[in-house]
Structure 1
Amino acid sequence: AFELARREGRKKVTAVHKANIMKLTDGLFLECARAVAADYPDILFEDMLVDAMCMKLVQAPENYDVLVLPNLYGDIVSDLAAGLVGGLGVAPGANIGDGIAVFEPVHGSAPKYAGMDRVNPLATILSGVIMLRHLGEFAAAERVMRGVTAVLEEGKTVTYDLGGTASTSEMTDAIIAKMG
């Protein structure tokens, strides 16, 4: 989380936990987060209980940069955050560890929509952007973002969840065309 914050120019990392109740597991998580934070004096560190984080994230999402959470809380809070930005269809995801990273839409594979050509491709495309940045391919990430931004600003070729009628492939093709 701290390396990501540093690389992305973020100012703060918040460790989210329930150490007041889950004393052993979340207590260890918090202890480790504090130990790692000590190695990054240039990054502000705070910790917060998961229930308080849910409320505060809804009230003032702009107060948070990078959140680090155990898997269960991360799954819940990422869905809450997705609701703040337009839903699961636009929410990218990244699970980044030491030397290993997985990039995927927050909504997962959505197998019930397989082959229907109607889901919003943004969560998958934006997960790819995060991956490109993680790999240091900043120019490629920016090129993809140029296409995404242009299509969203234009508003003509978007899927149903964004108020349009475009299919998955139509929206994807529009993004590719706008990448330049």
Structure 2
Amino acid sequence: MSLVASKRVSDSGDVPEIDDGVASVNAGAFWPVIVLRDLRLAARITGGITTTRLMHVTTEAVVHVTDQLASWQQTQQAAGYTALADVPAGQVNGESIKVYRFRRAVYAIARALLLEGYRDVDTTAKGDKATDTFDNQCDDLWRDARWSIADIRGAQRLFAELC
């Protein structure tokens, strides 16, 4: 007698573990709306993070990014651009690169804030190793956000480490 085990094929579509409904963060007409469902999928945020917690960190991320770009935004609006998508930029997949980078900055900061919140969860030796991993991921995410913000402004990316 032989056994033939067939492989179960899963749907390849992105489906979040949790339904955030239509929850989103809106910073005004100039900035793109950040949809939590899209953030959750793009940043690999699991269902262990509630919609409320995700809304909290995403709001902080949007506030941080828009604060960093406030003077740049004023310059663009003075030039007659009413939305980030209207500011001249290249396109990728039919979307302004500046809009893409805004989203990338917000997503990176939101994920970094979530990871930073987990640092104190486990204080065992295993937890210390996980904390080091979280720190490295957080550093990379903050760097990605800084570079995206610099790219939106048209400024040079800067990476310097002082020892």
Higher relative contact order at CA 8 Å, sep ≥6: structure 1 or structure 2? Answer: 2
**TM-score normalised by structure 1 residue count:** 0.28
Q: For the pair shown, which has the larger CA radius of gyration, 1 or 2?
A: 2
**TM-score normalised by structure 2 residue count:** 0.30
More strand as a share of residues? 1
